[in-house]
Structure 1
């Protein structure tokens, strides 16, 4: 990747790629999420000014981390009411060597600062901290996606299918709960990790999903988020190699990401699965995923991520879209739903159902999910409904459903795709 030469672009790139790493390192000094977030924001603002005069440092992340930590330490020193935290500050300062502002950080991305704590990545460390059992699962997911993964609050809201206002309030309550309950900013002990694993896996899955198809923005994908999720999933597997669902999640991300290069065409146009050039899929990633899936299925009862990986693998193994083993995919969904009774899973199941039993059967299932109401903010429900209606020749109803999907969609590549489909339906109505 070519380094940015414009200071403004360099700051923007560092914000997109390094926010989570800088925040995770700053929390270790600040011991307070709000203070850490404020100091990191100030560090980015200072970088914009400093880099214009002094030039872009060789390691922007190291510069930002040092600047944010120093702001946190200065704030703590100034606040007499926080004197009780000074011993922690001194302890943290002694444990971490501060890099010079104009020098690269000695720590490479992903390496452990404190190997004895057992979590060899700053960001994964903070994810485990934010996923404290004292917080509700929804709060754990929201807080981690917003702070550690750097997703904007509107995108976190879309990922969790709630309103932006609800999500902002949820994040605020989670921060207050951490402060009021005096939840420690320390890495959980090895014996505590399994209790937090389910939420951590959920965070990494949602992070990857936000990269695989960006909730908003001009491009279909945010590859920086997808790459970050893959890196953290690999790190987690190194940390917990015997956990079947860790292997399952990594397999799911690998088999899904293997199609990355073929998901868009000229001008960033979205390509559906049946349009993609399968010869360009990443065969190394697919082979690695296959090994993980086979080993997991042999190991006993499959969990939700392993079953999702097996479903994605069946899509990938088919020579063509039409030759996909649809009945087997439906069977796997029937195993997945009791483990994960999610309306999103039920909606995804309607796609292979439509190929196995016909679009009319699938449409009834989609309409039942629509009446349920839990997917009212989920743009893929009306999009799938529109496709089924189109296949049934119900053009006017399909056009209405495409309009509903457009109202819920903020990703420009998906909007362009839906607009094309809608135009096709409207043209058919006029003819």
Structure 2
């Protein structure tokens, strides 16, 4: 039976980047890790939910992580830099303006479109000799054992009923993760009673690489700079309001958007296809169990108010790659030192890929970051998505204070860049 060092279920951004990041690691004998990536559909079929019409914001720190993973050179040409951010509150004068030049960085972040990124990543996955891309396929069954996980596939004639083992099974299959649900791990869930309308829009004035986040009584509106002079719209509103907006024709929708966003970029002239997504918090409070770990949206689905959802998932990916690298380094050091041969790194002491010690270290490195970001986004979503006069006055005062106090403003900037 074929054995893989790591099997990744789900080939969205997190899963694809994890596979490519792990593929750069070598074992003690110099051989590459054996990696399998299981995915239902290819992005060029326009069916993959992880590579649809949406765009995502990459924090500046995420660009550093992508550089470490060897992926930034692939994505650089597809990334639109954010050189300025304006945060404002509808109906109030308080606002904060952040400039990349004030922090000696080329950009506060970047915007990438998921569909072209997905096609580029899959080209790399298909060409890499250490990665078996099993697609179209999905897991039919899986079973944990002390030293391995056995996986059975359900796919086309070639892949159907194929069975193999792995040292580590990674669930990167989104917030409806099949593996996560079957493990029945403890969760913390909250329905914000909101939906996000996603679309690409054209404005009369050029965006000049500026990003805007505007808080309204119904929820935040974000416009992020894209290639071709377009902007990526994320408009969070109540579920009922979202249904109304989705039913409008283009002219009426643009009129409503203009009224909510204002004229910072002049008239909003066009919109592409609109998509609507319900907004919930869905956090697995301990996202690992014997030789199985959840990453990305499978581990934590956040409100988009701070634009940090994918950035948190990317930090999961980088941390997991680092833990695998440490295990491989320990194995290499043990094999090179004869005095250590009596107690080699093995399943017996659980310090192997997917073993208890490795996954425990991984979670120790991620727990505080996940808890902090989940808490921050939840608090912001509740604070900035209502019209209570006391809270509205408080957040306006907060924005005015932040604009006037350089230390508070710097804290916001570093948070936006994902740097602490």
TM norm. shorter chain > 0.5: no
The structure with the greater share of residues assigned to strand is 2
TM range (shorter): under 0.3
Per the normalisation by structure 2, the TM-score is: 0.23
Which structure is higher in RCO with an 8 Å CA cutoff and minimum separation 6? 2
